[in-house]
């Protein structure tokens, strides 16, 4: 009876340690996204792009763009000034592990501007590297 109890306790400890570890990763990803919101609202696309990997691919109904420099150029073209950028909000975030150094995050985005309000959803594939968590794939719709 004791070996079975010891096995069950060991498994519960391992599971709880894994949850604590992923909770920290979840919080780190959410922190990057919160910083992106602040950077966007400040009108700073270049700082906003710090949340992306150098090898990011951005996929939207308009097509795909790969490479951080090209994605940045597209953002700068589409949002030439702070008024065009408006106020960005991410919500309904769900972050799920996808291995030790990867995670998925899904959610909704809204962009409130003086002339209109835009919104939709996203699915982000994250990669943890030396600089921390960065978006490797951004599927926004």
pLDDT tens track of the chain, all 141 residues? 555 544 444 443 344 444 457 999 999 999 999 999 999 999 999 999 999 999 999 999 999 999 999 999 999 999 999 999 999 999 999 999 999 999 999 999 999 999 999 999 999 999 999 999 999 999 999
pLDDT of residue 2: 59
Is 53 in contact with 134 (CB distance < 8 Å)? yes
pLDDT of residue 90: 98
Region for 67 from its dihedrals, namely left if φ exceeds 0, alpha if ψ lies in -120 to 50, beta otherwise: left
pTM for the full model? 0.84
CATH 3.10.450.50 fits 2-140, yes or no: yes
- DSSP for residue 16: H
* Measured CA angle at 54 (ends 101, 132), to 5 deg: 35
Short-list 61, 63, 39, CA closest to 52? 39
């Amino acid at each position: 009876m004791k070996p079975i109890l010891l096995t069950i306790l060991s498994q519960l400890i391992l599971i709880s340690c894994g949850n604590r570890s992923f909770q920290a990763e979840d919080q780190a990803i959410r922190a990057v996204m919160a910083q992106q919101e602040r950077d966007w609202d400040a009108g700073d696309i270049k700082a906003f792009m710090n949340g992306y990997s150098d090898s990011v691919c951005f996929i939207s109904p308009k097509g795909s763009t790969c490479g951080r420099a090209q994605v940045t150029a597209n953002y700068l073209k589409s949002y030439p000034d702070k008024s065009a950028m408006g106020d960005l909000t991410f919500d309904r975030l769900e972050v799920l592990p996808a291995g030790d150094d990867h995670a998925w995050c899904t959610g909704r985005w809204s962009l409130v501007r003086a002339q209109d309000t835009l919104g939709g959803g996203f699915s982000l594939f994250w990669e943890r590297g030396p600089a921390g968590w960065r978006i490797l794939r951004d599927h926004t719709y």
